[in-house]
Amino acid sequence: MAQEKIYKDCGYKGTPVKITKGSILVELALWCCFLVPGVLYSLWRVDTRYDSCPLCGGATMIPLDSPQGRKLEKESE
């Protein structure tokens, strides 16, 4: 089960969405045409994957069970 997080700018509380940079089409094309850049591109995409707020797209989600997360939760009530 995914950990619940809170986003400090819009106050959204819940499960963040995973955002992967780049494009699956570019990845497939690279894999088909040039094997090595395809591998590097795949590694880069996995490496830059991050949690994002589903409401505003912000990238600064804070875990609810951290001191800062609990403080934000109190403030948003």
Residues that bind Zn ion (CB under 5 A): 7, 10, 12, 53, 55-56, 58
Name which of 30 and 53 has its Cβ closer to Zn ion. Answer: 53
Residue type, 21: K
- Residue 27, burial from CB neighbour count under 10 angstroms (0-12, 13-18, 19+): middle
| DSSP designation for 7 | E
Quote the least distance from Cβ 11 to Zn ion, whole Å: 8
For residue 63, the SS3 value is strand
Name which of 10 and 28 has its Cβ closer to Zn ion. Answer: 10
Quote the least distance from Cβ 45 to Zn ion, whole Å: 23
